[in-house]
C-alpha cells in the first residue's frame, strides 16, 4: 500500500463546476498537508498549505484535512479553463520528508 | 511567496556530455534543497536531498557518481548529470524548503 493514494484521473468538468480532489494516506504521523498545481512542463506551484486538521480557504480554493479518516480534499469553486492542470497532494510528518500523491489531471472545458 | 529559480529550462546535448543544472532560492536562505525527477504523466520522484555544506543524501537506486550534487551556499544547489545517456532524458525539478517546499520551473533534459 502506498503512503499516499491519489486518483490520477483524468477528470473533466465544465466551466463553473465545483471540483473535488482527494487524497488518502496511511501514515498517521503526517501533520503538514499541501496541494500543488502543476501546469505542463512547469514545476509544481504551491496552492494550499495546512498544518494538522481543519479547513483553509483562499479565494476559490478550499482545503480540508480530516486526520481521523486520513483524508484530505481540495475544492475549487467556479472552475475556470485556466485551472486545467495536474493537482498534486503532498504531506509530511517532519519538515523535509514530503510524500506526494500521483497527481490528478484536471481539464475544465469552456 | 518564496521564489526558486532553476536554470536552464531546457537543454539538448549529445550522449556522453555532462550537464549542470542550477537551483537558486531567490528570497530566502535554504539549508536544504531537493532534486526530483519526473517522467511524463507521473508524479515526482525524489532523487536526493542537498544539504548546505555537507554531502547530499541520495535515495535508493540513485547513482551518486552519476548525479553529482553540490550545495556550496545557502542559495545555490547544482545537479550535474555526468556522461549523460539517452535514458537520462527526463524533467528534473529542484525545490527549496522554507516550510513548505517551493519548486523551480524544472529543466527538460534531452540526450541525443
Q: Do A105 and B44 touch (CB under 8 A)?
A: no
What is residue A94's DSSP assignment?
Answer: S
Per-residue pLDDT, B1 = 61
Higher pLDDT pick, A37 / A96: A37
Residues of chain B above pLDDT 70, percent:
98
Q: Do A43 and B108 touch (CB under 8 A)?
A: no
B4/B56 Cα distance (integer angstroms): 19
Q: Do B43 and A100 touch (CB under 8 A)?
A: yes
pLDDT digits (tens, 9 = 90+) for A5-64: 999 889 999 999 999 999 999 999 999 999 999 999 899 999 999 988 889 999 999 999
Per-residue pLDDT, B37 = 96
Per-residue pLDDT, B43 = 87
Q: Contact, A95 vs A32, CB < 8 A?
A: yes
Does residue B105 come out as left (phi exceeding 0), alpha (psi in the -120 to 50 range) or beta?
alpha
Grid cell digits, residue B69: 550534487
Query: Which of the four pLDDT bands, split at 50, 70 and 90, describes residue B47?
Result: very high
B89/B85 Cα distance (integer angstroms): 7
Per-residue pLDDT, A75 = 98
B90/B86 Cα distance (integer angstroms): 9
Q: Which of A42, A46, A102 sits opposite B106 (nearest CB)?
A: A42
Sign of CA dihedral B42, B43, B48, B52: positive
Q: Which of B44, B59, B108 to mutate to test binding with chain A, by most A CBs within 10 Å of its CB?
A: B44
| Residue A96, pLDDT above cutoff 80 | no
Residue B102 contacts A where some CB pair is shorter than 8 Å: yes
| Residue B76, pLDDT above cutoff 80 | yes
Nearest chain B alpha carbon to A94: B99
Query: Which of the four pLDDT bands, split at 50, 70 and 90, describes residue B29?
Result: confident
Query: Which of the four pLDDT bands, split at 50, 70 and 90, describes residue A94?
Result: confident
Q: Do A34 and B100 touch (CB under 8 A)?
A: yes
Residue A75 contacts B where some CB pair is shorter than 8 Å: no
Per-residue pLDDT, A101 = 93
Q: Contact, B84 vs B13, CB < 8 A?
A: yes
Average per-residue pLDDT in chain B? 92
Interface A-B: count of C-beta contacts within 8 A: 50
Per-residue pLDDT, B25 = 92
Closest to B83 (Cα-Cα) out of B1, B12, B9, B19: B19
**Which residue's C-alpha cell is 497532494?**
A89
Residue B59 contacts A where some CB pair is shorter than 8 Å: no
Write phi, then psi, for B87 (nearest 5 degrees): -70, -10
Residue B41 contacts A where some CB pair is shorter than 8 Å: yes
Query: Which of the four pLDDT bands, split at 50, 70 and 90, describes residue B104?
Result: very high
Per-residue pLDDT, B98 = 72
Q: How far is CA B33 from CA A35, A40, A65, B50, in A?
A: 19, 23, 27, 5
A80/A36 Cα distance (integer angstroms): 17
**Apex CA A75: angle with CA A72 and CA A76, to 5°?**
150
Instruction: Give the list of residues 6+ apart from residue B60 with CB closer than 8 angstroms, or none.
Output: none
Per-residue pLDDT, A52 = 85
Amino acid at each position: 500500500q502506498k503512503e499516499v493514494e491519489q486518483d490520477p484521473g483524468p477528470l473533466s468538468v465544465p466551466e463553473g463546476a465545483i471540483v473535488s480532489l482527494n487524497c488518502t494516506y496511511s501514515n498517521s504521523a503526517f501533520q503538514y498537508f499541501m496541494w500543488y498545481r502543476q501546469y505542463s512542463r512547469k514545476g509544481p506551484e504551491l496552492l494550499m498549505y495546512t498544518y494538522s486538521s481543519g479547513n483553509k480557504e483562499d479565494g476559490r480554493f478550499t482545503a480540508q484535512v480530516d486526520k481521523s479518516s486520513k483524508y484530505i480534499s481540495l475544492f475549487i469553486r467556479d472552475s475556470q479553463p485556466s485551472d486545467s492542470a495536474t493537482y498534486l497532494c503532498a504531506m509530511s510528518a517532519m519538515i523535509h520528508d514530503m510524500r506526494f500523491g500521483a497527481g490528478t489531471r484536471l481539464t475544465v472545458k469552456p | 511567496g518564496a521564489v526558486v529559480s532553476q536554470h536552464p529550462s531546457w537543454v539538448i546535448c549529445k550522449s556522453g556530455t555532462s550537464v549542470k543544472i542550477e537551483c537558486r532560492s531567490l528570497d530566502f536562505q535554504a539549508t536544504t534543497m531537493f532534486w526530483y525527477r519526473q517522467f511524463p504523466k507521473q508524479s515526482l520522484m525524489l532523487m536526493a536531498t542537498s544539504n548546505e555544506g555537507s554531502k547530499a543524501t541520495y535515495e535508493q537506486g540513485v547513482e551518486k557518481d552519476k548525479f553529482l550534487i553540490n550545495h556550496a551556499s545557502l542559495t545555490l544547489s547544482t545537479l550535474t548529470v555526468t556522461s549523460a545517456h539517452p535514458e537520462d532524458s527526463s524533467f528534473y525539478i529542484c525545490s527549496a524548503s522554507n516550510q513548505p517546499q517551493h519548486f523551480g520551473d524544472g529543466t527538460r533534459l534531452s540526450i541525443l
